[in-house]
Amino acid sequence: MSDPAALRRRALVAAGCCATLVLTALALVVVVGPERALVTHLVEDTAAALAWVGLAVACALRNRPTGSVLTIAGAWSVAAVTGGWSLVLDPSAAAAVGWASAGSWGLGVGLAYTLGVLTAARWSSPRVLRRAAVAASLLVALAFATLPTVTTDDQVRPNPVGTPLAPVLAVVGVIAVVVVAFAVIAALAMQASSPARRRTILPVLVAALAGLVAIGTGAFATQWAPIAQALTVPLLPLTIAATVLGTPGRGRRSVAAQLDGAADPSSALAATLAELGHELGLTGLAIEVDGRTVASVGGSFDDVRLPLVHLGRPEGHLLTPPLDEDAADEIGRVAPSVAAVLASVRLVEELRRSRAELTVAREAERRRVRRDLHDEIGPLLAAVAVQTEAAALTLERSPDSSRRSLAKARAAGSDAVLALRRIVRDLQPVAVDDLGLVGALEELAARLTGPATVTVTSSPTPPLSAAVEVALYRIAAEAAGNAVRHAAATRVRLALTVVDGAVVLTVDDDGCGFDTTGPVAGAAAGAGAGVGIGLGSMRERAAELDGRLSIGSSATGTTVRAELPVPAAGGTSP
C-alpha cells in the first residue's frame, strides 16, 4: 500500500504542473485581449482549467482520490494553453497546435461530465460505467483532434493530422458522452435518498446539467455560447470542491439542536439517533453499552460497530447499517457528541445509584445506632432507674441494701457511659486522628481481643488522605467485628500493604464463614440487617473512593480484601 503522504506529494506536484499551464494561459488571455479570448473560448478553457486544478489541490490536501480530477485538470490545462498559443502564433504553427487544443477540449468535457460527476458525490460507481466514460471521452478527443480542418480565431485551416472519418467519430463520440453523462446523472439522482445525500449530490447535478446545456447551445446559438460556457463550465468543479472541502453539515446542526433541547441525557440519545437516521437515510441506528441496547431507531443496524469514546474512555458502540463515505464522514463528526451524551447518561446513572446507596447506608447506620441505643444503653439506664428507686425505698429500713442498690446503679451508669462512648467512637473514629491509621488499627485489635486474638501487621505506606484512612478503619472495624461477634473466630489478622499504587487492607479469620451468595450477602444491598448491612457498608465505602472490595468465605474462614487508590494526601496521615 502506498504511503498517503507520498501520494499527496505526487498529486500536489502534478497539480503544480497543471497550474503552470493555467498561468501561461492567463498570460495569453492578457496578450490576445479579453474580448478576443472570450469569443475564441480561451476564457472558458482557462476558467475551467483553473477550477479543476483548484479541485485537485483540495482533494490532495483532504486525502481524497485525485486520479480522475488530475486527469481532467490536465486536459483542460492543455486545452487552454494550446488554444492560447494558436491565437498568437503564425497560421502554420497555429494549425499545428490547434488539433491538440481541440482534442484536449474534447477529453476535458467528456471526462468532466462523466467521471467528474461521479467524483463529486464520492460514489462507488459500477466499473462498466467508468470504463464507458473513459472510452467515450477518448473517442471524442480522438475525433476532435483529427478533424479535417482546424478553426482558430475564425480562421479555418487544414489540420495536419486530419482524417476523413473524424466527423463521423465526433458525432458518435458526442452522443456516447451525452448518453454516459445522463446515465451517471440518473444513477446519482437515485442515490439521493436522504437529506444529507441530496445536499451533496443535487448541487453537482444542477451544475452538470447547466454545463451540458451551455455546451449544447454552441451548436445553435454560437453568439451566446462563449459567454454561457464561460459562466457554467467552471461551476461543476466548484460544486465538487464544496462537497470535498465540506462545511458543518446540517445533520450535525440538527443533532446539536436535539441535544440542546433534550430534557435529560437519556431522551437526548433517542432524539439524536432519530434525527441522524433521518438526515442520513439509514434504515436503523442503535447504541450498545456492555452488550445491552440502550437506544435504537429503525430495525436494521447490526452490520457496522463504531466505537464511542469520550475523554479516552470507551462508552459503548454505535450500530449502523452499511455506510457510504458521506454517511461515514457525517457519523464520524457526530460520534464524539454522542459519546459525550452517553458518558453523561452513565454519570447520571452512577449518581442516582450512589444516592440510593448512600440513602441505604444512612438508614442502615441509623438502624444500627437505634439498635445499639435500644439494646445496650436502654437496659443500662433502666437498671439505673430501677436500682436508684430500690435504694430510695430501702434507705430508711435497710441502709446496707440501699448502698448495694446504689452501687449497682453506679455500675450500670458507668457501663452506659462506656457503651455511649463506644457508639460515639464508632460514629466518628477519633482514634484515627489521634493515633494515625496503624495506631487506630492496633487500638481496635486490643479492644476486640478476648476469646479471639486480633493482630495487626503493616508495611510502610505513603501519606493517605483522611477519607482513605477513615474508610480503611471503618472496613477493618466492620470486618474484624463480624469475625469476633458472628464467626466464632479464634484468630483475626489485619494486614495493611501497598500494591501497585493502591493501599490494600486484608482481614482474614479462621471462623465458620458464610455463604457469600446467600441471604446474608443479599442483605448487603440494604435489605437485611446485622452482618449483611455491614457487608453493604464496606462495599459502599470502597466504591465511594473508586476502590474495590472482595470477600471470600469458606467453612475454614473468611477473607475481606479492600483495595483503595492512593490520592494526594488531603488530611492526616499515619
Quick: pLDDT tens for 532-549: 556 777 888 888 888 899
Q: Specify the pLDDT at position 510.
A: 92
Q: What is the pLDDT of residues 302-331, one digit of tens each?
A: 668 888 888 888 888 888 887 766 677 777
Q: Taking 70 as the threshold, does the pLDDT of residue 24 lie above it?
A: yes
Span 514-521, mean pLDDT? 60
Q: Which residues partner with 548 through β-bridges?
A: 563
What is the grid cell recorded at 509? 479469620
pLDDT of residue 197: 65
Does residue 173 sit within a domain? no
Domain boundary among 344, 367, 398: 344
Instruction: Determine, yes or no, domain membership for 573.
Output: no
Question: Looking at the structure, do residues 539 and 509 belong to the same domain, yes or no?
Answer: yes
Do 339 and 301 fall into the same domain? yes
> Is pLDDT at 222 greater than 80 in this prediction?
no
In a domain, 315, yes or no: yes
Residue 206: pLDDT band by 50, 70, 90 thresholds?
A: confident
Indicate whether 562 pLDDT > 90: yes
* pLDDT recorded at residue 344: 82
Task: Say what the pLDDT of residue 527 is.
Answer: 33
Characterize 283-309 residue by residue with b for buried, 16 or more Cβ atoms within 10 angstroms of its Cβ, and e for exposed: ebbbbbbeeeebbbbbeebeeeebebe
Shared domain for 452 and 538, answered yes or no, is yes
* 425, part of any domain: no
Residues 470 and 544 in one domain: yes
Residue 115 contacts residue 72 (beta carbons within 8 Å): yes
Residue 260 lies in a domain: yes
- For residues 453 and 555, membership in a common domain is answered with yes
pLDDT at 195 exceeding the cut of 80: no
pLDDT of amino acid 456: 94
Here the CATH number for the domain that contains residue 478 is 3.30.565.10
The residue ranking higher by pLDDT, 262 or 345, is 345
The answer to whether residues 550 and 441 belong to one domain is yes
d(CA 279, CA 448): 68
Query: Which residue's C-alpha cell is 471521452?
Result: 137
Tell me, yes or no, whether 445 lies in a domain: yes
Tell me what pLDDT residue 114 has. 85
Residues 488 and 444 in one domain: yes
Q: What value does the mean pLDDT take over residues 486-490?
A: 86
pTM passes above 0.85:
no
d(CA 256, CA 250): 10
Alpha carbons 377 and 383: distance in angstroms, whole number? 10
Instruction: Tell me: pLDDT of 357 over 80.
Output: no
Tell me the mean pLDDT in the region 404-421.
82
526/63: higher pLDDT: 63
d(CA 164, CA 147): 7
Strand 304-310 and strand 548-554: the pairing is unpaired
Among 139-148, 175-184, 384-393, which stretch is predicted with the lowest mean pLDDT? 384-393
- Identify the domain containing residue 285 by its residue range: 255-344
Q: What is the CATH number of the domain that holds 323?
A: 3.30.450.40
Pairing of strands 284-289, 292-298: antiparallel
Q: Domain check: are 283 and 229 in the same one?
A: no
How does DSSP classify residue 525?
G
Half-sphere exposure of 464 (CA within 13 A, CB side): 27
Q: Is the pLDDT of residue 96 over 60?
A: yes
Please give the average per-residue pLDDT across 362-390, as a whole number. 78
How much is the pLDDT for 523?
Answer: 38
The number of folded domains in the chain is 3
In 3D space, the residue among 504, 478, 494 whose CA is nearest the CA of residue 566 turns out to be 504
Name which of 469, 487, 466 is nearest 560 in CA terms: 487
State mean pLDDT over 18-45. Answer: 84
Indicate whether 454 and 542 sit together in one domain. yes
- Of 290, 324, 344, the position where a domain reaches its end is 344
Judgement on whether residues 439 and 563 belong to the same structural domain of the protein = yes
The residue out of 344, 361, 383 marking a domain boundary is: 344
Same domain for 231 and 288: no
Between 220 and 59, where is the model more confident? 59
Question: Distance (Å, rounded) from C-alpha 78 to C-alpha 81?
Answer: 5
pLDDT in tens, 246-280: 544 545 555 555 555 555 666 777 777 777 777 67
Q: Is residue 268 part of a domain?
A: yes
d(CA 120, CA 326) in angstroms, rounded, equals 11
Q: 412-421 contacts: CB < 8 A, separation 24 or more?
A: 412/380, 412/381, 412/383, 412/384, 412/387, 413/380, 413/384, 415/380, 416/376, 416/377, 416/380, 416/381, 416/384, 419/372, 419/376, 419/377, 419/380, 420/377
Q: Give the mean pLDDT of the chain.
A: 79
Q: For the chain, percent helix, then strand, then coil, each to nearest 5?
A: 65, 15, 20
Is 74 part of a structural domain of the chain? no
pLDDT of 181 reads 86
Residues 197 and 277 in one domain: no
Average pLDDT over residues 541-564: 89
Structure confidence at residue 521 as a pLDDT band (50, 70, 90):
very low
If one compares 30 and 494, the residue with the highest pLDDT of the two is 494
